[in-house]
Structure 1
Amino acid sequence: MSETELPLTDMTAEQCLAMADSYAVDENWDEALTVYTAALTIWHSNTAVKFRILSHRSNCFYQLGNYEMAQEDALEATQLLSSSVAGLRPGESEVAWKRQGLAAFQANKFADAKQAFESAAQLATLNQRDGKFYRDWIQKCDTKLNPPAIAQSTTTTAEPLKAQTAPTSASTTVPVSHKPATKTSIIAAPRYQYYQSDKFMTISILEPNLSSEHVKVDWERQRLNVTVVKAGKEFSLIAGPLYDEIDPSESKIQYKPEKVLLKLRKVNEHEWKELMGKESKKATTSTTSSATQPKVRPYASPKDWGTIEKSIQAEEEKETPQGDDAMNKLFQQIYANADEDTRRAMIKSYQTSGGTVLSTNWDEVSKKDYEKERTAPKGMEWKTWEGDKVPMDED
């Protein structure tokens, strides 16, 4: 695939999810669907990751017009919410219910759609978001479930009009309009979340119906400022230095009905620990301060602990490891200095052979199935994940 050379079987569910999200941002729905499905097959224990895969794949099915599968994935994702799911981002549960409602409505399951939109509306209220979107969809569901009766024609009866008599009382009743007192509504600040691949950092602004008139983005090589106008009020959503450098010329903005996506192209292809970084201090300031101020030692100790630590590290490097330690250090050096193909070969051969083979030849390892070729030591028994026994060594 274009995003990475790593086979999906050698990736974690989180890595597959990030890759699929990148395809989805580019609206490459077929590729995204394939990788979401792969992520689901290798998922192990993190419930939040499974919830995210199902919710995102539901949107993928929806975009491809497969509303039955979209509803099924969204339903399975929301069923996970019956128990506490740690690690979910703000608004993710609401979006899953929303996707279930949209898919069910398109599949003509209007009762299910209404129930999903009602759940999403409750979560929107808890998140201090306007629930008008859901109220409109609930009204559409009610219209489908209870279509209005056709009004009877007034031309079928021809009763004579009765003469109206004037009221006997001289006093007339004037209707009084009771206008509700206006309340000052608190506008909740827009929310956002982000996810990444090695090449891109993607920021999702979780506000519907935004356009270029509402969003202002100023990006520099290592700084980002995002301003959003909501209900006539301006919010500074992101402002400050980024964790690492980006290429503004290859970064882009995408406006969608339910959100806005900022796709930042990384200069250095690696995973960021977080979105925002720290302000860099001027070198002149640090040089001046270090030249004029005495060196601060912890607890006012006369010992230079920095020098002591360096001397200990130097002694450890001089030590010659023996036995298994020497072998492990050799393998660590080979792995650290190897290219990507060599590292993949070492990982796959060691893991799939049960620790009996360690190869650096990717051309050979990529074509070989060590799980079928390996044998258990005499007197012991190996089984596959499916429960099939692995042949035993007869020596």
Structure 2
Amino acid sequence: MASDLAAKAKEAFIDDHFELAVDLYSQAIIIDPKNSELFSDRSQANIKLKNFTEAVADANKAIELDSSNAKAYLRKGTACFSLEEYQTAKAAFTAGSTLAPEDKRFTDGIKKCDKCIAEENGELPTESSDVTPSNVVVPTSQQAPEKTDATTENDEQVKTISSQVIATSPPKPKYRHEFYQKPEEVVVTIFAKGVPANSVSINYGEQIISVTIDIPGEDPYIFQPRLFRKIVPAKCRHEVLSTKVEIRLAKAESVQWTSLEYVGNNVVAQRTNVSTGNQRPSYPSSKPTKDWDKLEAQVKKEEKDEKLDGDAALNKFFRDIYKDADDDTRRAMRKSFVESNGTVLSTNWKEVGSKMVEGTPPDGMELKKWEH
């Protein structure tokens, strides 16, 4: 039962067995995937492990399942603060404070965010700050009880469970991704073919994106990089295509990113000089010999050669003709299709331009006119 696993996870958390707690919460979520509290509690365990991007994702899911879960907003605010996402953290703390105005942790979190935001904007001297992400700790809802015979027995049970958990190496990502950049934006491509648009969920932060592709019956794909530099969430957008998911990240500064993801001691990026001419996007990579132009051409070829059947194949055929046609051919196609009620499609403007195109129904069918 999910409740039994959750109870064991809480015991593990109290005893500082945070990895075990995450594992047990994960098992409980498989059984009860609509339980907001499970995601919120796993978020707290991930915070203890300093898995802050995972903690943000869990908190977002908890809020999605139950927007009145104040604890989830607290977890999100704490994790975002630790990622130096101060604006996003403040928004989470503010939303949580409206749900639990008596909880001082929200007001304290807002004050700390305001201070860090002011320092980032140069409004306060940096040496006056005594707030760092590592100082943010979310108190647990209960303190660890004194050790008794009963708790000792529980410890032994937790240790037994812990010994049964097999450590596995991180699985290979389900989809591969690449990126390139322009002076004003970074374009991230996730090569996920045939994914329904309603299965793709993307959240943008100041310096983090959270991508989830959740197809029923399959394990969800989650991609949550902390980005090389800050972005403008309101200007970011994405598009789900037949062979990929394309994400366009608006840069907060016109600087060259040396990588997609943030790494410790990031090298200061060079400011990009925006040219008025047609400037080709640059493709930074740890493998300078990689032919990005060839990769882009390959993706376009895959889209062009995509195998379709039935009406889909026919529609694609006509779209390709229309796309490459001259003005007279396009006029002929539009006129013949409209006037024949969709039964004739001609590319000969000389033939159809001077007369009304009569409908030609398929064999065995009769064309009827609607009475207005």
Q: What's the TM-score, normalizing by structure 1?
A: 0.32
Q: What's the TM-score, normalizing by structure 2?
A: 0.34
Larger Rg: 1
